[in-house]
Amino acid sequence: MRAYDLIEEGIAGDFQMTSLRMSAWNSGTVQVRVYTYTGPMGGATLDPALMTLVGQSNPTAVVGNTNADIQFNINLTAPVTIPAGTRFAVEQNSTAGLFTVAGNYSGETRPCYFWNPGCGFANPTSYASIGFGFISVLQVCQGLIVMDGSPDVVQTSGLPSGSVYPRGTTTNCFDLVSPLDGEIIDDCCFDVTVVEYPTPTTTLACNDNVQVSVNENCEAFISTDMILEGGPYGCYDEYIVAVEGYGSGFGGVTIDNNAIGETLTVTVTDPSTGNSCWGTISVEDKIPPTIECRDVVIMCGAQLPDVPAPAIVGYQEQIQTGLNDLLELNTLEYTFDYSYLPTTPALDVDVRIQIDDHTWLPDVKIEVEAPDGTTTDVFDITGCAGQEFPINCRFDDDGAVITQCVDLNGDETLRLMPLLFPGNSTPSLFNLNGLDASGTWTVRIADIAGGDDGHVREVGLYILVNLPQVDPADNCGEVDLTYTDTESGDPCEGLVVTRHWIATDESGNTAECDQNITVTPLVL
């Protein structure tokens, strides 16, 4: 018998044992048994009461060999799964004949034991404890190691997926690599053979005219198979393609934006015969330009934006002022619509709060909820009770640390770090950094006990973003930009200008979008 510990073996996952490779000194019949073991290892004995039989083989005849150079694979009747981190023991039990397990004198990787109650060994007893420490049992546990994580497939030769294979044979080889230790678990190879058409025609026929639309890079590869028709032909890469004004090459030639609107002559030549044919291509750009519109809010008297997607950089401030909301045993929610922003991360979030008349601030809880539902606390303390302690500040992770209740009372320029239970200055707003700024944000103010009321006077958010200007662009050249305006609303109470932008490229392709410009009135 030999005892093992999966952790000491360096196996992080489960071990599924399927068979035992072993040798025999004398011939006989052997049955392999596998036990899980929950006791300590390394001592003179193992405790059978802590061993649980989990699998075994059928009794199997083996042939003895004193040199121990004949090995046998003894299959278990069913695979046995040894859970990760488990100790287990493997027994070679003689059921008939004079079977004696084979050993060696080269040392052992794990302790070996005798177990024979008839010979006085009621418990598995180590070889070393009875003077046979120089002999080691020959055992190789065979099976599968089940590890967490997906193995990596690494290509070691050949061409990557999606490649164009040349004529002939290409051998692709791959290794299956463990994500835990980098060990190669398995490997395989296969061949890809490309055979040229055996009897290609020497007669060439070219299309008279092919309409070619360039790609997003304003390029097109004029290949042999675009021009030739009929066939059968040989490998297209072995024909020479010549495009008027763009040279020639085996298999094709690349044209660019200078070919837009041109009709060019293309010649295909078979170098093996010298035969050729010709046709023409008409080159066009059918891809429209790109344009993005951003809604903006400006003050009355400010200049209207002259680009569809101007830069939006800095703190986007929204403040609800002039409030007189009673705060007593209730929850007030204030929403802020930042959906005018395109998807972009919030780089910093600050909260503007003004509450007065409240005499028991431990009842007041303030939190902010992002558009994706992420919520973070801003204000939750245990002190500041028994008299009015106004809150008038801007909560900012980079704000000041305070220890006095009176320090809460300032104005919109006073920046204080959020206060979390039991009253510690804590930069909690960083939990919102990196979230999508676009959407509806909510500031929630709750009073969790009655008897002490107050009034909310001002609530706001400052969200820092960095959105560079996005200019219309085209794959093939310059873009002409025009717009028309439609106005709605009252200039004295809020005017919305809907600016309809049209981007036109040099080929006449167009793209359009609408930009809403909200003009807010001046407030005295």
Domain boundaries, the chain: 2-146, 152-194, 209-284, 296-308+469-520, 312-467
CA distance 303 to 447: 44
| Residue whose C-alpha is closest to residue 34's, from 141, 146, 147, 145 | 141
Spatial distance between the Cα atoms of 361 and 346, rounded to a whole number of angstroms: 30
* Residue 307, pLDDT score: 96
Query: Do 289 and 504 meet the contact criterion of CB atoms below 8 Å apart?
Result: yes
- The encoded tokens of residue 256 equal 């660019």
Of 452, 443, 444, 445, which is closest to residue 328 (Cα–Cα)? 452
What CATH number should be reported for the domain whose range is 296-308+469-520? 2.60.40.10
pLDDT in the model for residue 436: 97
Q: What is the pLDDT of residue 153?
A: 95
Tell me the pairing of strands 263-269 and 209-213: unpaired
Class of domain 312-467: mainly beta
Tokens of 264: 């060019």
- The pTM score is 0.56
Pick from 245, 256, 248, 196: which is nearest to 227 by CA? 248
Separation of alpha carbons 76 and 59, rounded Å: 10
Residue 100: what pLDDT? 66
CATH topology match: 2-146 vs 312-467: yes
pLDDT on residue 132: 84
Q: How far apart are CA 103 and CA 101, in angstroms?
A: 7
What whole-number distance in Å separates Cα of residue 55 and Cα of residue 20?
A: 12
First and final C-alpha spacing in the chain: 93
Kindly state the tokens that stand for 306. 């002259």
Within 8 A by CB and 6+ apart from 502, the residues are 481, 482, 483, 510, 511, 512
Q: In terms of Cα–Cα distance, which of 307, 306, 309 is closest to 295?
A: 309
- Provide the β-strand partners of residue 241: 249, 268
Task: State the pLDDT at residue 370.
Answer: 98
| pLDDT tens by residue, the chain, 524 residues | 899 999 988 887 899 999 999 888 878 888 999 999 999 988 899 999 999 999 999 999 888 776 656 788 999 999 999 999 999 999 998 887 665 676 777 777 788 898 888 778 889 999 888 888 788 888 899 998 877 778 899 999 999 999 989 889 999 999 999 887 788 989 999 999 998 788 899 999 999 999 999 999 999 999 999 999 998 999 899 999 999 999 999 999 999 999 999 999 999 999 999 999 999 999 999 999 999 999 988 888 888 999 999 999 999 999 999 999 999 999 999 999 999 898 999 999 999 999 999 999 999 999 999 999 999 999 999 989 889 999 999 999 999 999 899 999 999 999 999 999 999 999 999 999 999 999 999 999 999 998 889 999 999 999 999 999 999 999 999 999 999 999 998 776 778 999 999 999 999 999 999 999 988 876 55
Q: Does domain 2-146 have CATH number 2.60.120?
A: yes
Q: Which residues is 29 bridged to in the sheet?
A: 61, 96
What's the CA angle centered on 65, arms 59 and 67, to 5 degrees? 135
Place of tokens 């489960």: 14
Q: Taking the CA atoms of 303, 307, 311 and 315 in sequence, report the sign of the dihedral they define.
A: positive
Distance CA 436, CA 286 (A): 34
**CB 58 within 8 Å of CB 31:** yes
How far apart CA 288 and CA 507 sit, in angstroms, is: 9
Of 148, 147, 126, nearest to 137 by C-alpha is 126
Among 410, 422, 409, 413, residue whose Cα is nearest residue 377: 422
| Helix-, strand-, coil-residue percentages of the chain, each rounded to 5 | 5, 55, 40
Sign of CA dihedral 41, 47, 49, 52: positive
Tell me, what amino acid is at 95? T
CB-CB contact of 46 with 119 (8 Å): no
pLDDT at position 99, please? 53
Question: In this predicted structure, what is the pLDDT of residue 134?
Answer: 84
Q: Does residue 20 contact residue 156 with C-beta atoms inside 8 Å? A: no
Beta bridge partners of 157: 173
Note whether 248 and 268 are within 8 A (CB).
no
Q: What pLDDT score does 129 carry?
A: 86
Tell me which residue of 427, 399, 426, 403 sits closest to 413, measured CA to CA.
399
Which SS3 state, helix, strand or coil, does residue 324 take?
A: coil
Q: Regarding beta strands 364-369 and 375-379, do their DSSP bridges make them parallel or antiparallel, or are they unpaired?
A: antiparallel
* pLDDT score, position 178: 84
Contact between 365 and 448 (Cβ < 8 Å): yes
Residues 6+ apart with CB under 8 A from 230: 201, 203, 205
> For residue 90, what pLDDT is reported?
96
